[in-house]
Homo-oligomer: A and B are copies of this chain.
């Protein structure tokens, strides 16, 4: 599918601030950037960095005191790898690529060491692989309420498990946590999503299954073939769309994602969807 993405951010900088921006779509065989532009505040230069292992694209800049607008626009075509869910098994730890192993370990927002007993009891008997992670997503969808403002930057999956409410980022963290506790590598994905309501950045997660990273969304707010990936990481600490050091407020942000090819509206996919290499 082809997407037109517009992302406009506005920051009120109170003291000189170093900003690390991570809103540019990943560039990859399965996610081609047809065209894109990044408009920075007048007179601001930025330093770009692409992480070789992940494709995450960072942009670092120093913002002086004042009001600043940043506008990112892109047209992106994705070509997901689609598989029947029954053909996507879990990979035994003994066979996982070494590069993938760190995604089995607990991280700040995904303390998988603390929810293992529950995860095994609840999901341990489910046939291995994509079905198992789907069962995780179903459980989260049924047991956690999506409530805007119910969590904040210190909320971990442990908190969400107890409190039973959160937003997309919390749903992703909880899914990652359960997957890791079950020996399935999982990572956080920040994304643009078509048909998201209200429009905003989205957070989903990927689990490493059958030799690839497959996309999952426990919020069920978006079909997995309508995702454009921005960044992957261990959790939101690793993959924030913006990280700053200094003092600012904001952003009021406007995100819009539209479909730009002629594709008719389709049903949500029931297949396994991957945008990884």
Residues of A within 8 A of B (CB): 18, 20, 49, 51, 58, 60, 62, 92-94, 98, 101-102, 105-108, 110-111, 113-115, 117-118, 121, 143, 145, 153-154, 158, 161-165, 183, 234, 237-238, 243, 245
Residue picked from A153, A154, A237, A245, most chain B C-beta under 10 Å? A237
Which B residue sits closest to A158, measured CB to CB?
Answer: B162
Q: B114 near A154 (CB under 8 angstroms)?
A: yes
- Residues of chain B with a CB closer than 8 A to A117's CB: 145, 163-165
Secondary structure at the A interface, as helix, strand, loop or mixed, is mixed
Select A98's contact among B58, B94, B121, beta carbons within 8 Å. Answer: B58
- Residues of chain B with a CB closer than 8 A to A121's CB: 143, 164
Select A115's contact among B102, B115, B162, beta carbons within 8 Å. Answer: B162
Select A108's contact among B98, B101, B106, B163, beta carbons within 8 Å. Answer: B106
A60 to B237, alpha carbons, bound, how many Å? 29
Q: B114 near A111 (CB under 8 angstroms)?
A: no
Q: B162 near A98 (CB under 8 angstroms)?
A: no
